[in-house]
Amino acid sequence: MRVDLRNRRTVLLGVFVAVLVIFAAGMGAAWHVRNKTICKDGKPPVAQQSAALMPTVYKCHNGQIITSAQG
């Protein structure tokens, strides 16, 4: 089976399918990590501080300080 890439409808359908697959993969990844937090108490951080080349520092509700490396 040969696909004609000069056919506008075929190309647009392929782009649509690719975007749909990427969107579904992103939604699946978000669903998978929905309950993971960096603080041990399960709540989101109270504050964060970051610089361009420095690791991000998070402060939790219980006073815990967490450093997260970017990359």
What single string gives the DSSP state of each residue in 23-53? HHHHHHHHHHTTT--SSTTSSPPSEEE--SS
Token pair, residue 18, equals 């690719």
The domain spans of the chain are: 1-36, 38-71
pLDDT, one tens digit for every residue, the chain (71 residues): 787 888 999 999 999 999 999 999 999 999 998 888 888 888 888 998 887 788 889 999 888 888 886 54
Q: What pLDDT was estimated at residue 70?
A: 54
| Helix then strand then coil, % of the chain, to nearest 5 | 35, 15, 50
Task: State the pTM of this model.
Answer: 0.57
Token pair, residue 38, equals 């960096």
Q: Residue 63 — left, alpha, or beta (φ > 0 → left; ψ -120 to 50 → alpha)? A: left
